[in-house]
Structure 1
Amino acid sequence: MPKGKRKGRSDRNRNDGSLHSSDDDSNNNDNLSLISNCSETRSEDGEESSELAQEQFEEKLCELLDGLSQKSSQGRTNCFQSLAKGLVKKYIPNFIRDRYFTICDSIERSLKKGGGSEKAAAAELATIICVQLGGEDTSEEIYRMLKPVLFTTICDNTVSATVRAKSCVALGTITFLTGGDLGEVIILMQQLQAIFSASYLKGDGALANVAPESAILHASALSTWNLLLTLISPGSIGGMLNTKSLPSLEKLSELLESSHLEVRMAAGEALALIYELGREEDEEFEEDFALDVTETLKQLATDSHKYRAKKDRKQQRATFRDILQFVENGTIPEVQVKFGKDLGKEVLVLDTWTKRKQYESLCNILGPSINIHLTENYLLRDIFEIAGAPPTSILPPDALRKMQRYRQRFVNAVNYKARTLSRAKNRDKRSDF
């Protein structure tokens, strides 16, 4: 082998660098420009894909709306149920506002002429569209359109107990959300009282014979009555009890002896709400009755009867411990609900029975999606006194940038999934060909 000087690794690198330095610089600059262009393109693609997803979602809702006029009763029921599930998942008041008359017409027609399951699904949808629209004038129009048929359904004893229970919840929630006239609220509460009064004790003190289906109706009527009770100003509770505009505390306490858990818990909730509102007016509100009912509350808070299901006993004890503590000492355990995403989390503090009842009622309608509505729905934010606009508009710049990165990462993941599915379909077509 010739014994010449071998080029070292450093020499080769140096020579390559010196010969092609200008080309490398241009290549690096090109790469940088390509990367920036790609990021901008992906950002634009992310916005387009989110808009496309929203358009597809609304197109699906429009198809379900068209299905509400089909001849098949089961088909209409399925459309009502699917439409309710879709409207719960997203806050889209603009979509409802443009189509509320069509939706209300379908609900009214189904409540008048539909079958049992169809009526129940229609009543449920009526509640959701009012939650979507919040405190707008349109929701008041919906209330005026649907109130007569819902009220008729509630009073009709020939209608199934399940449908009447759904109608009670629907009409009560719509009335609560639209802030109906106090006179109308009292009339509805009296009608609800006429329903759950069938669970009062008989004249000889014996328990009323109530079937499970009827017990669900009575519990729904009493729970809705409790929700409407939160609309009454504290200073008028004592006068309404004296004038018998509200049922007496003795009558409500009779429901604590019901053989059905839902009725007992709704009755305890009613007593807690009345005492909370009454004590804001007078600190010594109905103290004598509080001493009398305390023994019954203690028994329910420590109930260990084996003939009741273990889950029911646990739920009853937890609820009545809180009620007993409030009636005796005026204290209520504070419950915190965290909602929002990433750095925009907010906390809702439920420190009164009024707030707990309102939150529970909306939770039964919206389910886990209540977090979305607490963030975006201004009516719900106003009901629970959540200050300010949605949190994304008040975050500091660094937090906003971090949240945008989270969102961009999510959009990229959605795009990747859509691209993979599209390629898989094309690959299948090529193999078939």
Structure 2
Amino acid sequence: MPGKGYRRGKYGHQQGGGKRADAYASDDDSQGDACSVTSGQSDNRSLLEDVANDNNEVDEISQQESFEEALKEAIDGLGQKSAKGRLGCFHGLEKTFAIKYAPEFVEDRKMTITDSIERSLRKGRGDEQSSAARLSTLLCVQLGVFESAETVCREVKSTLVLIANDNAASATGRSECCWALGMNCFLVGDDPTDTIEIAQLLSNIFAGSYLKGNGALPTVSVEMAALHAAAISSWTLLLTIMAPSDVYALLGTERTNNFMPPLTRLAELLQSPHLDVRLSAGEALAVIFELGREYDEDFEQEWTLDLIDILKDLATDSNKFRAKKDRKQQRANFRDILHYIEEGDIPETHIRFGSETLYLEGWCARTQYNACCRLLGPGINVHLADNFLLRKIFHLGDKVIEPVAASRKTSKLKRTMNAAAFKARTVQRSKARDKRSAAFAI
């Protein structure tokens, strides 16, 4: 398993480097305070090239100082009385933690951030709870190299569980809490008991999308369907860190236990009228079969025939009452799932970031990577290159250091000189073409 305490590890890799992150960006200014330092000095074109290069080094220090100052202000703002102000600070920290890796800086302020997260989870509503839940996971991503990451997870777990189970809370907040529980356990969890406990909680939540006793579809709103889909995806993520033998023992066509639902119940989710639920359920079944077949190549072979018929219908669905975009996405996803379950075709993906390549093989690897992408967005490349926790999870080895010359950007003065030379060449060539045109005319 990838990461600390994981028991599976067959995701290959190649060596290389990565990209650098941008500076802190707030809700009111997408460029952030750090960027203003650079832009304020970039218009001075009277400097010599070597002086400009020296100033570039000074600029980097100034940018870092501005970044840290803006980050400190955002952390302090998490405790303000204004709910709108707190939400803005949460959003700013989310964006920053997603695109920049600063574990030492965050480690020194982890208690302040954790207290603010827990307070907003308990007293906040809707968007604030959602943002606080996401920030708890991003905090774990930043602190992954420290033991304090596990402490943070333990401190916020009970509150996340309380909200996820609270039917009076907003569906959006509950969805993010489900994701946070699964992601936190995946990133830094090392207790099988916690994994089983959270898996049971999540399976109880998405049980609301099972067929009724008479075989009829349940009435599920769009908001609740999103909650169920989040619970299924988070539950599936937890399966990827379990040993194949444990999954085989806990899951089966008609096996019943206190931890996992039987496969026949999971297959009912494929009939949901909501696309997200169907896609999440399909991915869950693919992961289960991958783990089950790793333990026993004949895993649920007889029941598979019935499942294949259902998957074929979904992979060729042309019902006009579904949106064209939904039909296209459904067919593409379920074609991959069908090819794997029916023919054993293992999905392979190559992810390029910087000069490195991440090789993903199988549904477990794809599920883990997609979950990290959902959390980090465009910042995934930064963390794959620099974050020791993610490099450990995906078996990328030690961080690759780029040569200084390769990573140094061209100075502003040199770019200006190059542009002027290019313009002069263009003018000269234009004159030469005019002379040739005159000669041809004669």
- Which runs of structure 2 are paired with 1:321-360 in the superposition (5 Å)? 321-340=335-354, 345-360=355-370
Aligned to 1:18: none
Once residues 88 and 122 of structure 1 are traced to their aligned partners in structure 2, the CA distance between those partners, rounded to angstroms, is 14
Task: Give the secondary structure class of the aligned counterpart of 1:48.
Answer: helix
CA 1:401–1:196 in structure 2 vs 1: closer, same or farther (change >3 Å)?
closer
Once residues 360 and 327 of structure 2 are traced to their aligned partners in structure 1, the CA distance between those partners, rounded to angstroms, is 24
CA 1:64–1:411 in structure 2 vs 1: closer, same or farther (change >3 Å)?
farther
Aligned length: 367
Once residues 398 and 256 of structure 2 are traced to their aligned partners in structure 1, the CA distance between those partners, rounded to angstroms, is 41
Alignment match of 2:283 (pick from 252, 269, 281): 269
Task: Give the secondary structure class of the aligned counterpart of 2:350.
Answer: strand
Alignment match of 1:163 (pick from 152, 165, 173): 173
Quote the offset at 1:383 in angstroms: 0.8
- Which runs of structure 2 are paired with 1:347-426 in the superposition (5 Å)? 347-392=357-402, 400=403, 402-404=405-407, 407-409=408-410
CA 1:243–1:206 in structure 2 vs 1: closer, same or farther (change >3 Å)?
closer
Once residues 130 and 415 of structure 2 are traced to their aligned partners in structure 1, the CA distance between those partners, rounded to angstroms, is 36
Relative contact order: is structure 1 or structure 2 higher (C-alpha 8 Å, sep ≥ 6)? 2
Task: Give the secondary structure class of the aligned counterpart of 1:350.
Answer: strand
Task: Give the secondary structure class of the aligned counterpart of 1:70.
Answer: coil
Task: Give the secondary structure class of the aligned counterpart of 2:219.
Answer: coil
- Which runs of structure 2 are paired with 1:30-41 in the superposition (5 Å)? 39-41=49-51
Once residues 219 and 99 of structure 1 are traced to their aligned partners in structure 2, the CA distance between those partners, rounded to angstroms, is 34
Aligned to 1:78: 88
1:136 aligns with 2:141: no
- Which runs of structure 2 are paired with 1:1-400 in the superposition (5 Å)? 39-241=49-251, 242=255, 244=257, 245-340=259-354, 345-392=355-402, 400=403
Task: Give the secondary structure class of the aligned counterpart of 1:379.
Answer: helix
**Can you give the 5+ residue segments of structure 2 that lack an aligned partner in the other structure?**
1-46, 418-442
Once residues 324 and 88 of structure 1 are traced to their aligned partners in structure 2, the CA distance between those partners, rounded to angstroms, is 34
Please give the TM-score of this superposition, normalised by the length of structure 2.
0.80
Task: Give the secondary structure class of the aligned counterpart of 1:409.
Answer: coil
Contact (CA 8 Å) 1:196, 1:218: kept in 2 or not? yes
**Can you give the 5+ residue segments of structure 1 that lack an aligned partner in the other structure?**
1-36, 393-399, 417-433
1:49 maps to amino acid: D
Once residues 414 and 210 of structure 2 are traced to their aligned partners in structure 1, the CA distance between those partners, rounded to angstroms, is 58
Quote the offset at 1:410 in angstroms: 5.8
Quote the offset at 1:411 in angstroms: 7.4
Cα deviation code 1:130-185 (max 9, x no counterpart): 11122420101111111111111111111111100011111211111013311110
Contact (CA 8 Å) 1:300, 1:317: kept in 2 or not? yes
Cα deviation code 1:43-82 (max 9, x no counterpart): 3321211111011011111111111111111111111111
Contact (CA 8 Å) 1:46, 1:411: kept in 2 or not? no
Aligned to 1:21: none
Once residues 129 and 107 of structure 1 are traced to their aligned partners in structure 2, the CA distance between those partners, rounded to angstroms, is 10
Cα deviation code 1:63-115 (max 9, x no counterpart): 11111111111111111111111221111111110101000100111111112
Once residues 179 and 163 of structure 1 are traced to their aligned partners in structure 2, the CA distance between those partners, rounded to angstroms, is 22
* Percent of aligned pairs with the same amino acid: 48
Once residues 220 and 230 of structure 1 are traced to their aligned partners in structure 2, the CA distance between those partners, rounded to angstroms, is 16
Once residues 66 and 294 of structure 2 are traced to their aligned partners in structure 1, the CA distance between those partners, rounded to angstroms, is 51
CA 1:99–1:254 in structure 2 vs 1: closer, same or farther (change >3 Å)?
same
Report which stretch shifted further, 278-287 or 129-138. Answer: 129-138
Once residues 302 and 410 of structure 1 are traced to their aligned partners in structure 2, the CA distance between those partners, rounded to angstroms, is 55
Once residues 372 and 72 of structure 2 are traced to their aligned partners in structure 1, the CA distance between those partners, rounded to angstroms, is 25
CA 1:415–1:213 in structure 2 vs 1: closer, same or farther (change >3 Å)?
farther
Contact (CA 8 Å) 1:43, 1:408: kept in 2 or not? no
Once residues 411 and 231 of structure 2 are traced to their aligned partners in structure 1, the CA distance between those partners, rounded to angstroms, is 44
Contact (CA 8 Å) 2:228, 2:277: kept in 1 or not? yes
Contact (CA 8 Å) 2:125, 2:170: kept in 1 or not? no
Quote the offset at 1:388 in angstroms: 3.2
